[in-house]
Amino acid sequence: MIAKYASQGFNVLAFGCSQFANLNPQNDNETLLILEYVRPGNGYKPNFPVFANLLVNGADQHPLYTWLKAACPPTNPWIGNMPYISWSPVMTTDITWNYEKFLIDREGKPVMRFNPGTNPTDAGLVGVLEGLLTQG
């Protein structure tokens, strides 16, 4: 997707989080090595910025996620299984799992939120993205 839309100003920003069953427990300086050699491995190097791990839910969530979640309604009324929830308080707007996506327009306004299972090539996501890219 980046290769297809980068010339129109599209980019991906990735933020890891270990709040979901501790699936992303590495130190920030290990993330790129894990991507390259473990998961997905095979020499994978992302063509987008990968930032430090953040807390996305709970009292100590990063302000970026406070802002994103306030701007875009949740994608699913189901938050998760209680044994896997490691934060407090639990809110209806919480991120439900890794790979939740937010589209932000050229002015920096969050436009839409997509659930973790949404493939980046999903027609609905691509349609919203292409609409945003043609607006300016």
pLDDT in tens, 96-131: 888 899 999 999 999 999 999 999 999 999 999 999
83 — pLDDT class (breaks 50, 70, 90)? confident
Q: What is the mean pLDDT of residues 33-37?
A: 92
Start and end residues for every CATH 3.40.30.10 domain found in the chain: 58-136
Contact yes or no for 42/31 (Cβ under 8 A): no
Facing residues of 113 across strands? 102
Dist CA 120 CA 118 (whole Å)? 6
Going by CATH, does the domain composed of 58-136 fall within 3.10.129.10? no
Phi, psi dihedrals of residue 50, rounded to the nearest 5°: -115, 120
* pLDDT in the model for residue 136: 65
Contact yes or no for 75/65 (Cβ under 8 A): no
